[in-house]
């Protein structure tokens, strides 16, 4: 199985096989094979994972995130915005535990989804009521995120873009480059107003956000491919929680970037 750029999939057992359709089903479990990193210590004890497992777990985590996000947004005011930073820090810690823990922990994935919802609710309230003074931006960002997700799923299922080793390296390289630029921009902002201008709202910032959104969209292809190979390899059904977690990481990243891009056009 080719490795996704999404670190959430580092604990997925490796499986053989080439490109496959996302809803092709599963093959008989025939061992985990070899791949990047070591498989989790827990042995397969249940049935093989299916696409239904992935859909169910992803829907569950997404519903939890939306629920806690909506609740935080409705609380509003300083309370909602004040919760954003602590939730972001707790979410980061939970994500690291999920990524490096050797056993699947549905409770941790659910906790991560709930905490990230609080973070997104607070950030969304900030953008809607202070950055842009336009609450409609939230639904626009959600619609944009779901649209990109659906479009990339169609692209993957139809085979319009095949996930090859070359494409994987390109996406990982682009992702690493974008992260470096964001870090440099952050450091520079401490010394020069606006830093490199990547988040200032000007033409350069708009172009950079479009680039990052494009990278996030292509990351979905790698996530789908990782899930596909896991299903074909017959890995245990419990690993669907890892797939759900990985997809949530990409969805949250994409939503935040689309929200930022929309704010450039609507801020006063």
Residue-by-residue pLDDT tens, the chain, 268 positions:
444 445 555 555 544 433 333 333 333 332 223 233 333 433 455 789 999 999 999 999 999 999 999 999 999 899 999 999 999 999 999 999 999 988 889 999 999 999 999 999 999 999 999 999 899 999 999 999 999 999 999 999 999 999 999 999 999 999 999 999 999 998 998 888 888 889 888 899 999 999 999 999 999 999 999 999 999 998 999 999 999 999 999 999 999 999 999 999 985 4
Q: What is the pTM for the complete model shown?
A: 0.83
Please tell me the total count of domains within the chain. 1
- Expressed as residue numbers, the domain containing 241 is 47-266
Using CB atoms within 10 Å of the CB of residue 126, give its burial: 0 to 12 exposed, 13 to 18 middle, 19+ buried.
middle
Q: Is residue 103 in some structural domain?
A: yes
Q: Is residue 3 in some structural domain?
A: no
Q: Is residue 4 in some structural domain?
A: no
187 token code pair:
């450091």
128 CB neighbour count, 10 Å cutoff: 22
Q: Is residue 248 in some structural domain?
A: yes
Which is nearest to 113 in space by CA: 58, 163, 165? Answer: 58
Q: Is residue 30 in some structural domain?
A: no
Query: How far is it, in rounded angstroms, from Cα 117 to Cα 74?
Result: 12
Q: Is residue 41 in some structural domain?
A: no
Q: Is residue 63 in some structural domain?
A: yes
Q: Is residue 126 in some structural domain?
A: yes
172 token code pair:
């990982």
């Amino acid at each position: 199985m080719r490795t996704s750029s999404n670190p959430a999939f580092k604990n997925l057992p490796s499986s053989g096989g080439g490109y496959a359709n996302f809803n092709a089903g599963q093959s008989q479990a025939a061992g985990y094979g070899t791949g990047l990193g070591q498989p989790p210590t827990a042995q397969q004890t249940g049935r093989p994972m299916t696409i239904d497992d992935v859909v169910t777990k992803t829907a569950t985590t997404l519903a939890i995130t939306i629920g806690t996000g909506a609740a935080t947004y409705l609380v509003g005011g300083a309370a909602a915005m004040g919760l954003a930073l602590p939730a972001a820090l707790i979410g980061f810690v939970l994500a690291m535990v999920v990524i490096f823990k050797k056993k699947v922990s549905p409770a941790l994935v659910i906790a991560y989804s709930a905490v990230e919802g609080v973070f997104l609710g607070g950030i969304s309230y900030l953008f809607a009521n202070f950055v842009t003074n336009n609450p409609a931006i939230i639904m626009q960002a959600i619609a944009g995120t779901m649209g990109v997700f659906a479009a990339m799923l169609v692209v993957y299922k139809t085979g319009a873009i095949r996930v090859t080793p070359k494409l994987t390296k390109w996406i990982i390289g682009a992702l690493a480059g974008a992260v470096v630029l964001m870090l440099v921009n952050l450091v520079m902002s401490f010394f020069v107003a606006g830093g490199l201008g990547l988040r200032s709202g000007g033409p350069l910032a708009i172009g950079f956000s479009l680039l990052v959104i494009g990278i996030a969209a292509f990351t979905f292809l790698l996530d789908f491919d990782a899930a596909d190979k896991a299903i074909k390899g017959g890995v245990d059904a419990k690993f669907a929680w890892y797939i759900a977690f990985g997809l949530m990481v990409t969805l949250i990243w994409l939503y935040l970037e689309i929200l930022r891009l929309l704010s450039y056009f609507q801020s006063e």
